[in-house]
């Protein structure tokens, strides 16, 4: 459904492994990635299935797998996305999901007479999606006051310093709790509870089912009027129902976090043409795609008599395209 909404010629699926990278050395991660690709390579291809990163799979892992694929097939192709720039990756791919989330939310807010300017924003997670969503929110004048990881969350009333977060997460591969070593006024809280922080806009960007019905009620009580899913299904069904029942501007993940797969498709296009677009070119294409997704789901919801129910709109718009394609190609 997500890939359908992008309007790009890509399908969609999910897969993974039960390997836990926590505490493993680079050598151990590399050995697993190579073994994984040794089995996987028979089932994928640039015109068959093109894997991309997700939770626990970033540029390091994509590089290890891509290198093994090349060794096994003796070929260069756009077989994995999220590659490094030195070997066929796309500019703006790292930023894509986070930026795309904010582009869609910005269009949604604009169409309802609102904006990120001077709004307080809480974002869960501290990986690529969360940090780049935070960067774009700050660029649009919002104030991000909280980020989290699996251990707990940090609150910085003066606004999160993303330079510090990147140093911890990318430079040291550390925990968000270390943020307080750099920013003495910030407060770290172990465990859950990030959705109890007062905010105008919430962007759950960590993992599935991280936001419950009780969390949704807490957000409402604290004045939150817009929620965008940066992760895949971070709001559980009870939370989604709370948002819809109370007219919260709620963008479901199949629409709001489609920026990653969109730029994956753009990366595939660049590989096929043996060329590369500039960051600004990719970023503008991404912004256009996310704006079109918002318009698509808003129109679908309106046509169904459920105006501003973007969950229904995303389901209808995504399903309609898939169903029409299936019927036109002959159902078997």
| Catalytic site positions | 14
Rounded to 5 degrees, what are φ and ψ at 202?
-120, 135
| 3-state DSSP assignment of residue 291 | helix
Task: Please state, in angstroms and rounded to a whole number, the distance separating the CA atoms of residues 20 and 40.
Answer: 18
- Enter the tokens of residue 254: 């199949």
Given a contact cutoff of 8 angstroms between Cβ atoms, the answer to whether 260 and 132 are in contact is no
Rounded to 5 degrees, what are φ and ψ at 117?
-55, 120
Give exposure, 189-225, as e/b (b: 16+ Cβ within 10 Å). beeeebbbbebbbbbbbbbeebbbbebbebbbebebb
**Radius of gyration (C-alpha) of the chain in whole angstroms:** 20
Give 115's contacts (C-beta < 8 A, 6+ positions apart): 106, 109, 140, 141
DSSP 199-215: -SEEEE-S-TT-B-HHH
Given a contact cutoff of 8 angstroms between Cβ atoms, the answer to whether 227 and 249 are in contact is yes
| Residue whose C-alpha is closest to residue 107's, from 303, 293, 302 | 293
Helix or strand run (H / E) with residue 121: strand 120-124
Given a contact cutoff of 8 angstroms between Cβ atoms, the answer to whether 205 and 125 are in contact is yes
Q: Which residue has the tokens 């718009």?
A: 317
The HSE-up count of residue 320 (CA atoms within 13 Å, CB side) is: 15
């Amino acid at each position: 459904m997500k890939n359908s909404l992008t309007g790009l010629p890509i399908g969609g699926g999910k897969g993974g492994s039960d390997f836990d990278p926590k505490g493993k050395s680079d050598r151990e991660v590399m050995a697993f990635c190579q073994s994984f690709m040794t089995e996987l390579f028979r089932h994928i291809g640039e015109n068959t299935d093109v894997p991309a990163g997700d939770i626990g799979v970033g540029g390091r892992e994509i590089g290890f797998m891509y290198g093994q694929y090349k060794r096994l097939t003796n070929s260069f192709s756009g077989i994995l996305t999220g590659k490094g720039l030195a070997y066929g990756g796309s500019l703006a791919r790292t930023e894509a999901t986070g930026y795309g989330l904010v582009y869609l939310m910005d269009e949604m807010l604009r169409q309802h007479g609102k904006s990120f300017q001077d709004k307080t924003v809480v974002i869960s997670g501290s990986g690529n999606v969360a940090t780049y969503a935070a960067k774009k929110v700050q660029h649009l004048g919002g104030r991000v006051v909280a980020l989290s990881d699996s251990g707990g969350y940090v609150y910085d009333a003066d606004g999160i310093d993303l330079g510090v977060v990147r140093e911890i997460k990318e430079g040291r591969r550390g925990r968000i709790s270390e943020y307080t070593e750099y920013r003495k006024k910030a407060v770290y809280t172990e465990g859950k509870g990030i959705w109890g922080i007062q905010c105008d806009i919430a962007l759950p960007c960590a993992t599935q089912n991280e936001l419950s019905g009780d969390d949704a009620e807490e957000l409402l009580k604290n004045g939150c009027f817009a929620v965008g899913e940066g992760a895949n299904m971070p709001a559980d069904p009870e939370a989604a129902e709370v948002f819809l029942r109370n007219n919260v501007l709620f963008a479901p993940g199949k629409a709001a976090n489609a920026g990653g797969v969109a730029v994956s498709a753009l990366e595939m296009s660049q590989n096929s043409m043996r060329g590369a677009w500039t960051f600004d070119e990719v970023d503008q294409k991404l912004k256009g795609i996310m704006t079109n997704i918002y318009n698509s789901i808003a129109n679908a919801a309106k046509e169904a008599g459920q105006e501003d129910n973007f969950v229904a709109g995303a389901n209808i718009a995504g399903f309609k395209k898939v169903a029409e394609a299936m019927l036109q190609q002959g159902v078997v």
